[in-house]
């Protein structure tokens, strides 16, 4: 065999061995290669236990404190709330941030409604004293605001020339009637004259007893005594001795405080719990340990556009005057309640378009849950959906839990976005060129 033929034979043998080796290794490479479009598992991230904001994609030490980074548990584990993820917090960190949980429990919803009330005057028990003739104050018996008065108690005496003239006319009518009594034709005219003069004095609020005395004695009185029309306290006084009084003036205002109103602002969301006739209790600091009983008498039909509240008027008996106008106190409405699921107010966070609570899954893992809230009961709120009785939710440090949940969800989104990019397609190998001999 010539040298050229021997070299060609060795070349063909080497080419065949290389092709066989490539054919043998191809299945193994294909087994380890990832099919195009198949999602890649999220990359393991590492975090500093003392500085949660330090997150790296490889093991190492924290650049702030030098502690070794630990693998992030639950990284990329999606939660039930968009933009949130399940988080894992070890007991040491829970103690460090003050995390606390409570169980959702069934309780009474809508049984009580508390608010602040202001004592006000019962407007139906206010009386204003006036006179029907011009005159001058001769003597003043009630001389300061706040003085209690009884019905029929004298307030002041009034001298009125016009009133004195009317009394003389009445006495003249009496004498005329007496002189006409012997004439049957004129007797009726005398009676009518006396009745007309008496009625004029009566329309000026002259008491019947004064008219009877005037008719019996035949002597006019210089002054007229004005009496209190009701029992109560003087809440306004607009005259002094010697002052002139006209029918347009209001010398006194007398208010009966044996029954008062308590005005309560009720928010729009709670209006359905307070109705006319609802029992109410009222307590004030001035009377510790005492509770006043009353009922809702009126609900304002118009809302206050600034405070978004409606006024409720609650009536309370006040026989001893313990409730004074402009006092403030706490009003408790007793309404018929119902059973509902309650959690502390701090357990629910506002996530913008939804309300979120963090459910404790055990082993330091917390899952965000979308919840629907109902009625607020003091420091608790009703949960109508999203939780069940016995579920344990975060009630303290939940803002920190929420921040970490959002951070983990954002990192998971970034890692998935990077994994979704398709790998570059391998360039096919060029076929070896051969020579024909």
Q: Does residue 147 register a pLDDT over 90?
A: yes
- Name, in order, each residue with C-beta under 8 angstroms of 246's C-beta and a sequence gap of 6 or more: 131, 134
- Look at residue 416 in the predicted model and tell me its pLDDT: 58
Residues 400-411: pLDDT tens digits? Answer: 888 888 887 777
- Look at residue 43 in the predicted model and tell me its pLDDT: 66
| Contact between residue 133 and residue 200 where contact means Cβ atoms under 8 Å apart | no
Long-range residue pairs from 349-355, CB within 8 A, at least 24 positions apart, any chain: 349/398, 349/399, 349/402, 351/81, 351/83, 351/84, 354/81
Query: In which band, very low, low, confident or very high, does the pLDDT at 53 lie, cut at 50, 70 and 90?
Result: low
- Look at residue 414 in the predicted model and tell me its pLDDT: 67
189, two tokens? 């005219």
Within 10 angstroms of residue 314's Cβ, the number of other Cβ atoms is 24
The dihedral built from the CA positions of residue 112, 113, 114 and 119, taken in this order, carries a sign that is negative
Q: Does residue 182 register a pLDDT over 90?
A: no
Q: Give the whole-number percent of the chain exceeding pLDDT 70.
A: 81
- Look at residue 433 in the predicted model and tell me its pLDDT: 45
- Look at residue 25 in the predicted model and tell me its pLDDT: 32
Ranges 23-32, 115-124, 407-416: which has the least confidence: 23-32
Q: Does residue 144 register a pLDDT over 90?
A: yes
Instruction: Give the chain's domains with CATH numbers.
Output: 45-72 (no CATH), 75-108+340-418 (2.40.420.20), 112-123+256-335 (2.40.30.170), 131-249 (2.40.50.100)
Give the pairing of strands 252-255 and 232-237: antiparallel
pTM of the complete model: 0.59
Q: What share of the chain is helix, strand, coil (3-state, %, to 5)?
A: 25, 35, 40
| Contact between residue 256 and residue 230 where contact means Cβ atoms under 8 Å apart | yes
Per-residue H/E/C for 33-86: CCCCCCCCCCCCCEECCCCCCCEECCCCECCCCCCECEECCCCCCECCCCCCEC
| Contact between residue 356 and residue 66 where contact means Cβ atoms under 8 Å apart | no
Q: Does residue 20 register a pLDDT over 70?
A: no
The alpha carbon torsion through 142, 143, 149, 153 (nearest 10 deg) reads 0
Q: Does residue 180 register a pLDDT over 70?
A: yes
- Look at residue 425 in the predicted model and tell me its pLDDT: 44
Average the pLDDT over 131-136 and give the result.
94
| Contact between residue 219 and residue 82 where contact means Cβ atoms under 8 Å apart | no
How many angstroms separate the Cα of 197 from the Cα of each of 179, 203, 317? Answer: 17, 10, 45
CA distance 132 to 418: 95
- Look at residue 252 in the predicted model and tell me its pLDDT: 96
Query: In which band, very low, low, confident or very high, does the pLDDT at 4 lie, cut at 50, 70 and 90?
Result: low
- Look at residue 429 in the predicted model and tell me its pLDDT: 44
Average pLDDT across the chain, whole number: 82
Residue with more model confidence, 60 or 27: 60
- Look at residue 421 in the predicted model and tell me its pLDDT: 52
Average the pLDDT over 133-137 and give the result.
95
Q: Does residue 162 register a pLDDT over 50?
A: yes
| Contact between residue 381 and residue 345 where contact means Cβ atoms under 8 Å apart | yes
5, two tokens? 């033929």
What are the counts of helices (DSSP H) followed by strands (DSSP E) for the chain? 6, 26
Q: 202 by DSSP, 3-state: which?
A: helix
202, two tokens? 């009566």
For tokens 């702030």, what's the residue? 64
- Look at residue 108 in the predicted model and tell me its pLDDT: 79
- Look at residue 24 in the predicted model and tell me its pLDDT: 37
CA angle 73-71-81, nearest 5°? Answer: 30
Ranges 1-5, 184-188, 269-273, 334-338: which has the least confidence: 1-5
- Look at residue 151 in the predicted model and tell me its pLDDT: 94
CA distance 392 to 359: 6
- Look at residue 72 in the predicted model and tell me its pLDDT: 67
Query: In which band, very low, low, confident or very high, does the pLDDT at 51 lie, cut at 50, 70 and 90?
Result: confident
- Look at residue 377 in the predicted model and tell me its pLDDT: 77
Ranges 27-36, 73-82, 98-107, 410-419: which has the least confidence: 27-36
CA angle 69-75-77, nearest 5°? Answer: 165
CA distance 308 to 352: 22
Average the pLDDT over 169-175 and give the result.
92
Residues 194-233: pLDDT tens digits? Answer: 999 999 999 988 888 889 999 899 899 899 999 999 999 9
Query: In which band, very low, low, confident or very high, does the pLDDT at 269 lie, cut at 50, 70 and 90?
Result: confident
Residues 76-107: pLDDT tens digits? Answer: 454 557 778 888 888 888 999 999 999 999 98
DSSP string covering 230-282, please?
Answer: SSEEEEEE---TT-EE-TT---EEEE--SEEEEEEEEEGGGGGG--TT-EEEE
CA 339 to chain centre: 21
423, two tokens? 């790998």
- Look at residue 18 in the predicted model and tell me its pLDDT: 42
Q: Does residue 292 register a pLDDT over 70?
A: yes
Average the pLDDT over 40-65 and give the result.
77
Residues 332-371: pLDDT tens digits? Answer: 998 777 888 999 999 999 877 889 999 999 888 999 999 9
Q: Does residue 31 register a pLDDT over 50?
A: no
Mark residue 229 as left, alpha or beta (left: phi above 0; alpha: psi -120 to 50; beta: remaining). Answer: alpha
């Amino acid at each position: 065999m010539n040298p050229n033929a021997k070299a060609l034979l060795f070349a063909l043998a080497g080419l065949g061995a290389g092709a066989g080796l490539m054919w043998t290794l191809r299945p193994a490479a294909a087994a380890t290669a990832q099919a195009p479009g198949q999602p890649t598992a999220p990359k393991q991230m590492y975090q500093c236990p003392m500085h949660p904001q330090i997150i790296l994609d490889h093991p190492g030490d924290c650049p702030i404190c030098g502690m070794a980074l630990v693998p992030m548990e639950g990284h990329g584990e999606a939660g039930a709330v968009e933009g949130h993820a399940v988080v894992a917090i070890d007991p040491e960190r829970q103690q460090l941030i003050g995390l606390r949980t409570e169980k959702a429990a069934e309780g009474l919803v809508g049984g009580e409604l508390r608010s602040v009330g202001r004592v006000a005057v019962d407007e139906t028990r206010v009386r204003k004293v006036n006179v029907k003739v011009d005159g001058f104050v001769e003597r003043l018996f009630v001389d300061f605001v706040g003085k209690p008065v009884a019905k029929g108690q004298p307030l002041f005496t009034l001298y009125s020339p016009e009133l004195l003239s009317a009394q003389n006319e009445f006495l003249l009518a009496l004498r005329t009637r007496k002189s006409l009594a012997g004439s049957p034709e004129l007797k009726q005219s005398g009676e009518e004259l006396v009745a007309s003069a008496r009625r004029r004095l009566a329309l000026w609020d002259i008491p019947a007893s004064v008219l009877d005395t005037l008719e019996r004695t035949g002597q006019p009185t210089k002054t007229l005594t004005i009496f209190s029309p009701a029992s109560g306290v003087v809440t306004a006084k607009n005259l002094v001795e010697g002052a002139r009084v006209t029918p347009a003036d209001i010398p006194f205002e007398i208010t009966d405080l044996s029954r008062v109103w308590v005005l309560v602002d009720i928010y729009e969301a709670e209006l359905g719990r307070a109705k006319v006739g609802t029992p109410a209790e009222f307590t004030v600091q001035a009377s510790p340990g005492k509770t006043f009983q009353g009922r809702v008498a009126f609900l304002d039909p118009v809302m206050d556009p600034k405070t978004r509240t409606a006024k409720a008027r609650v009536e309370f008996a006040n026989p001893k005057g313990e409730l004074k106008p402009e006092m403030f106190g706490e009003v408790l409405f007793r309404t018929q309640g119902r059973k509902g699921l309650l959690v502390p107010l701090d357990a629910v966070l506002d996530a913008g378009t939804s309300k979120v609570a963090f459910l404790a899954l055990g082993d330091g893992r917390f899952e965000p849950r979308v919840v629907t809230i109902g009625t607020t009961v003091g420091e608790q709120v009703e949960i109508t959906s999203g939780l069940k009785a016995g579920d344990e939710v975060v009630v303290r440090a939940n803002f920190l839990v929420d921040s970490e949940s959002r951070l983990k969800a954002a990192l998971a989104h970034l890692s998935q976005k990077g994994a979704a990019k398709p790998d570059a397609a391998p360039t096919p190998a060029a076929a070896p060129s051969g020579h024909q001999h």
